[in-house]
Each structure stands twice: as structure tokens, then as C-alpha cells.
Amino acid sequence: MNVDLAPPRLRALGNPAWRRALASAMRCVIALLGLAIVVQAFLVVQARPQDLVTGIHGMADLIRRAMPPDFSQLPATLWPALQTVDIALFGTLVGIIIALPLALLAAANMTPSRFAYYAARALIGFTRAVPDLVWALLFVTAVGLGPFPGGLALGVHSVGMLGRLFAETIEQMDMAPIHALELTGARRIQVFSHGIIPSILPSLLGITLYRLDENIRSSLVLGFVGAGGIGFQLLTAMNLFQYQEVSLLLIIIFVIVLGAERISAELRERLS
């Protein structure tokens, strides 16, 4: 004979009707919590949709003045456009060069010591936590206006993103071939170049291409703080109320972003 020795309250929970009621109550609480989160977001951003409706004619006026795009400025925008892409390329390259050795130190399965692990993780976290715009401001102060501080800013910020993703990739790789190479007497750098890099190369390239794509978008904005490229041109045109030039620049930005995204996606697909 089975005797239910559970306290009366627990026995009540075993009742299907009680369980259903409890589940319904929980669902209500979760729904109310979700609603509260959405409402507080609207309050904090001071959302006023009616202003958008009343102010739409201002936007329409701006768009009207930006039309048609001033294609006569096209030759003058090609150089800044190239600068924008090159800032991203330079930044990504700097990021890889610094992030790869850092990732080795920050990967739990490869790090030579706990101190190196935490130091590398902290450095990676710090470079990622500081926004690229702040890095750009810092480097503009250090080396002056132009594309160089932009490249440096993206490079340092990329260290954070690439370092973390590279380290995670290294941590997830199959360690058996690495141990096998270590036992052949290969030195650390040989194990790295003959074992680790070939094993994770597709992942590294995929991550790098994704980062390059992100950097191209970021380099457009960096121009706003004087770090060169098409962003700087865009800011100047807006300040001078040259809206037709602004619309041309926006078209070029659209082409660059879309092109980079497509090329990056295509290459990553081929790698996978």
C-alpha cells in the first residue's frame, strides 16, 4: 500500500487543477513583467509618436531639398570612399595582428599561465568595452585628423571583438592533433603554425571577414569625429546644408555597405 507522506501543501501542488491554476498565474505574471519592461522603455526614451506625425513635413522638406543627388560631386567623393574602405582594412589587419597572440593567451586550453589568461582576457574586454568612437577621439588627439586615427581606432576596438572570438574558437578546437604535435618535440610556435592555425583557419577567416564588414560600417561613422573617410565628407556637407551632396554620399555609403556585406557573406559561405 502506498502512503503519501508529503506535507498537505505539497500534496495540493500534485493536484492537476492546482497545477493548471499555478501555470496560468505564472503566465500572467510573466506577461505583466514583459509589458512593464516595454512600458518603461517607452517612458525612458520619452517616446512621442505624435511629434513624428506633426514633424513629418520637415523631413519631407529635407528629402525634397536633397533631390536629385548631385552627381557632379562624384569624382570628389571617390577618394574619401576609398579611404573609408581602407580605414576598415587597416583596422582589421591591426586587429588580427594583435588579437591572434592575445587569443592564444586568453584561451583556457592554450594559455601558459593563469596570470597570462586573466591579463589577456582583461585587455580584450577593455578594448571591446570602450566604443570605437571614443578610441577615435583619443587617437585624433594623439595623431591629428585624418584616416590614420580612424584605422587605429578600429584596430584597437577590433582586438576586443576578434580576440574574444578567436579565443573561443581555439578553446573549441580538437586538441588531440595539438597534443600529438607537442609530443613530437615541436616548439610552441611550431605547434601554433602547424597545428592550431591549419585546424581553425576557416573559422578565423570567417570571423575576420565578418569583422571587416562591421569595420566598414563603423569607419563611415568615425569620420564624424574627424577620423577621415566619407563620414567626414558627409558631416561637412550636412553642416554646409549641401543636401544634394548628402544624398549622393548616402547612395555611395549604401553601395559600399551592401557590397561589403555581399562579398563578406559570399566568401564566408565558400569557406564553410
Partner 1 sequence: MLRVRGLSLRYPNGKLALSDFDLTVTAGEFVVVLGGNGSGKTTLLRCVTRTVKPSAGEIWLDNVDLCALEGEKLRRARLALSMIWQHPSLVRRRCVLSNVASGALGRHFTLRTAFGGLPRSELEAARVRLAEVGLAELADQRASTLSGGQAQRVAIARALAQRPQVLLADEPVASLDPEAAEEIMRLLQRLARTERIAVVCVLHQVELAYAYADRVVGIRDGRMVFDLPRGQVSREAVHRLYLPEAA
Residues that bind partner 1 (CB under 8 A): 176-177, 179-181, 183-187, 189-190, 193-195, 197-199, 201-202
Beta carbon nearer to partner 1, 17 or 183? 183
Beta carbon nearer to partner 1, 199 or 236? 199
CB of 199 to partner 1, least distance (A): 6
Extract the C-alpha cell encoding 221: 561613422
CB of 212 to partner 1, least distance (A): 22
Beta carbon nearer to partner 1, 14 or 198? 198
Beta carbon nearer to partner 1, 106 or 196? 196
CB of 100 to partner 1, least distance (A): 13
Q: Do the Cβ atoms of 220 and 258 come closer than 8 Å? A: no
CB of 169 to partner 1, least distance (A): 14
CB of 59 to partner 1, least distance (A): 53
Beta carbon nearer to partner 1, 13 or 201? 201
Stretch (H or E) spanning 219: helix 197-222
Q: Whose CA is closest to 84, among 261, 256, 258?
A: 256
Torsion of CA 236, 263, 139, 119, to 10 degrees: 150
* Separation in Å, CA 186 to CA 146, 193, 198: 45, 10, 15
Cα-atom radius of gyration of the chain, to the nearest Å? 27
Beta carbon nearer to partner 1, 129 or 271? 271
Q: Whose CA is closest to 153, among 214, 208, 101, 87?
A: 87
Q: Do the Cβ atoms of 92 and 215 come closer than 8 Å? A: yes
Cis peptide bond upstream of 68, omega within 30: yes
CB of 184 to partner 1, least distance (A): 5
